[in-house]
Amino acid sequence: MRSVTFTTRGALGKSSLREANERLVLTYIVRQPGISRLAIARATGLSPSAITGIVERLKVAGLVVDEKTEPSSQVGRPPSNLRLVPSSRHVVGVEITPFDATLVLADLVGNVVERREIAAEKTPETFLERSNVALKEMVGGVKTPLLGVGVSIQGILDPATGQVIAATNVNWRNVEAMRLLRKDLDLKFYWDNNANLSALAEQWFAVPGSASLDNFVFVTLRGGLGTGLIFGGHLVQGATARAGEFGHTVLYPDGRKCLCGNHGCWEEYASDKALLRMYHESGGEPICDSLQVIHRARSGDKAALSAVAEAGRNLGLGLMNVITGLNPAAICVDDFAAVGWDLIQPEIWNVLRSRVPDYWLAGVRIFPSEHAIHSSLSGAVALALSKYFTSFHNGQMA
Ligand SMILES: [Zn+2]
């Protein structure tokens, strides 16, 4: 975990200051497993006695333990190392897609300990009601404190209510997704769209010491094409939480009709469904799994190789607009582009290098997501965890 940003407005009261310091110490222990009290004191500027008091409270809450160290020949007590107890608390992550809902129970470092899938039904309402029942069953069996539920939903959402205003891929309009999903559940719920949460997952679960993801764009190709934008370390939502819909910027003005009503949108040429269409148009049999096209390309299937190359070029064309418009330090891609990165990457860079001046491309890193097809589900878990670690309210310590 990395890039946790603390924001303080105005002077802190005594209890808020205590919470903020506890949160700060806990975050150091999460980021640097095995860190000593002295190292935390040095890093935070808090006194060693203050750190000792905070760590005691975290230990009483079951969140932290002292790691046993090897006996040393040094005189005096050996320094003990602190570790988070990942199984001391849990969160739930939910991903709602056009085809199914996936529910996972995860610990404090994101390890999944339980997983359930619910197939989509005829109406979004019955689908979400069934998901609500499955969620109740899952949380009913949890023995540790449950910190919250993070939910990933495709489409344009009302940020305040979690209502799906429009989801073109599933033809949902004004679906009260969060009201139905959280019905009769007394838990903290957090939600966002799949592209934003995919970006959050990449940032939250980044390996410590890896390159900065404070200014980057996540391009999800799963179930359409959307982007999650993180700039200045934070998700960019826009005036009405609709930022990042690059999938509906136009690549070919006279191109294919898009479900949004426009023509030639990027989504129609570089998403998972676009890859499947191009594979079929190149002579491949109709299939519904974009990763299958990658597997077939690897085995030399000519139609698959052609479709993958075309999708890669179209991905590059759209990324050209993203790079020149937003100046990101990095771009991450998921789904078939992550799984087939060795095949896709050359196509993307051929387009970029032939069309974009060097001064725009200098330093831009484009890389595949480690979460591949599970990026937004990981993001739902990351959302619930990030809300806990970055807003440590009274009561959550108990
Ligand atoms: Zn469109």
Say how many Å lie between the CA of residue 137 and the centre of ligand 1.
Answer: 38
pTM of the model: 0.88
Q: 32-75 pLDDT, tens per residue?
A: 889 999 999 999 899 999 999 999 999 999 999 998 766 655 55
Query: Distance (Å, rounded) from C-alpha 334 to C-alpha 225?
Result: 10
Say how many Å lie between the CA of residue 157 and the centre of ligand 1.
Answer: 17
Say how many Å lie between the CA of residue 250 and the centre of ligand 1.
Answer: 8
Say how many Å lie between the CA of residue 258 and the centre of ligand 1.
Answer: 5
Query: Distance (Å, rounded) from C-alpha 306 to C-alpha 68?
Result: 57
**Terminal Cα-to-Cα distance of the chain (whole angstroms):** 23
pLDDT the model gives residue 128? 95
Say how many Å lie between the CA of residue 268 and the centre of ligand 1.
Answer: 7
Say how many Å lie between the CA of residue 287 and the centre of ligand 1.
Answer: 23
Judged by DSSP in three states, 127 sits in helix
Say how many Å lie between the CA of residue 3 and the centre of ligand 1.
Answer: 33
Which residues of the chain form CATH 3.30.420.40?
89-200+376-390, 209-369
Tokens matching residue 43: 């890093």
Tokens matching residue 59: 């230990």
pLDDT the model gives residue 106? 97
The CATH class, in words, for 209-369 is: alpha beta
Say how many Å lie between the CA of residue 97 and the centre of ligand 1.
Answer: 18
Say how many Å lie between the CA of residue 262 and the centre of ligand 1.
Answer: 5
Say how many Å lie between the CA of residue 126 and the centre of ligand 1.
Answer: 27
Contacts of 203 (CB under 8 A, 6+ apart): 2, 3, 213, 216, 230, 382
Q: Name the helix (H) or strand (E) containing 18.
A: helix 14-31
Say how many Å lie between the CA of residue 141 and the centre of ligand 1.
Answer: 42
Cβ count near 90 (within 10 Å)? 23
Tokens matching residue 248: 């509906």
Say how many Å lie between the CA of residue 257 and the centre of ligand 1.
Answer: 8
Say how many Å lie between the CA of residue 267 and the centre of ligand 1.
Answer: 7
Say how many Å lie between the CA of residue 142 and the centre of ligand 1.
Answer: 42
Task: List residues, by chain if needed, whose CB lies under 5 Å from ion ligand 1.
Answer: 248, 258, 260, 262, 265
Beta strands in the chain, from DSSP E residues, in sequence order = 35-36, 64-67, 81-84, 90-96, 100-107, 112-119, 146-153, 156-157, 164-167, 172-175, 189-193, 216-220, 226-231, 234-235, 330-333, 365-368
Question: How do strand 365-368 and strand 330-333 relate by DSSP bridges?
Answer: parallel
Say how many Å lie between the CA of residue 314 and the centre of ligand 1.
Answer: 15
Report the half-sphere exposure of 98 (CA within 13 A, side-chain side).
12
CATH architecture designation of domain 89-200+376-390: 2-Layer Sandwich (3.30)
Judged by DSSP in three states, 365 sits in strand
Say how many Å lie between the CA of residue 12 and the centre of ligand 1.
Answer: 46
Judged by DSSP in three states, 82 sits in strand
pLDDT the model gives residue 140? 94
Say how many Å lie between the CA of residue 249 and the centre of ligand 1.
Answer: 7
Which residues of the chain form CATH 1.10.10.10?
14-84
Across all residues in the chain, what is the average pLDDT? 89
The three state secondary structure string of 306-343 is: HHHHHHHHHHHHHHHHHHHHHCCCEEEECHHHHHCHHH
**DSSP 8-class letter at 87:** G
Say how many Å lie between the CA of residue 335 and the centre of ligand 1.
Answer: 20
Say how many Å lie between the CA of residue 41 and the centre of ligand 1.
Answer: 52
Check whether domain 14-84 has CATH 3.40.50.720, yes or no: no
Say how many Å lie between the CA of residue 21 and the centre of ligand 1.
Answer: 46
Q: 76-135 pLDDT, tens per residue?
A: 555 679 999 999 999 999 999 878 999 999 999 999 999 999 998 889 999 999 999 999
Cβ count near 377 (within 10 Å)? 26
Say how many Å lie between the CA of residue 144 and the centre of ligand 1.
Answer: 44
Q: 378-387 pLDDT, tens per residue?
A: 999 999 998 8
The C-alpha angle 241, 390, 34, rounded to 5 degrees, equals: 140
pLDDT the model gives residue 13? 61
Q: 187-199 pLDDT, tens per residue?
A: 999 999 999 999 9
Say how many Å lie between the CA of residue 332 and the centre of ligand 1.
Answer: 21
DSSP states of 232-260? TTEE---TTS-TT-GGGSBS-TTSPBPTT
Say how many Å lie between the CA of residue 319 and the centre of ligand 1.
Answer: 16
Q: Which of 67-71, 211-215, 273-277 is least confident?
A: 67-71
Is it the case that residue 271 has pLDDT exceeding 70? yes
